[in-house]
Amino acid sequence: MTTDPRVEEYLATLAGLDPRVLPRVEQVRAIVAELVPEAVEALSYGLVGWKLDGRPLLYVGGFARHVGLYATPAGHEAFAEELSRFTQGKGSVQLPLTEDLPVDLVRRIVAFRAEQVRG
């Protein structure tokens, strides 16, 4: 996984937020690194993002009250029932800091998106 130096700069800005934010963003990064080691990491749209075979895989960002996961609309539709308890937008979900990061669900979303991108 190639790291854009801007990613580290972005992560440093998260230190000013709730102390639960950065570890959760790092958890998502670790999941992507484990499941899709060939994905290229970069800062995109002001978020940490990954491309696989030149195509967007997913994005993650840290915010004051949640971690945002952006797995494209199709990535969220496939997990609609499990994501229904979270605040969502088109292709995005807010994982609140008041709950543990749903690691198993994030792992399945990452694997699903990788499969989608690979075709």
85-97 pLDDT, tens digit per residue, is: 999 988 899 999 9
Q: pTM to 2 decimals?
A: 0.94
User: Where in the sequence is the domain holding 59, given as residue range(s)?
Assistant: 5-118
pLDDT of residue 32 exceeding 80, the answer is: yes
Rounded CA-CA distance 14/18 in Å is 8
Mean of the per-residue pLDDT values of the chain? 95
pLDDT of residue 24 exceeding 70, the answer is: yes
Measured CA to CA in angstroms, residue 82 lies from 6, 9, 53, 77 at distances of 32, 32, 28, 10
pLDDT of residue 69 exceeding 60, the answer is: yes
Residue type, 18: D
pLDDT of residue 2 exceeding 60, the answer is: no
CA dihedral angle for residue 23, residue 61, residue 18, residue 93, rounded to 10 degrees: -100
What is the CATH classification number for the domain harbouring 112?
3.90.1150.200
Between 6-20, 21-35, 74-88, 93-107, the lowest mean confidence (pLDDT) is in 74-88
Q: How many domains does the chain have?
A: 1
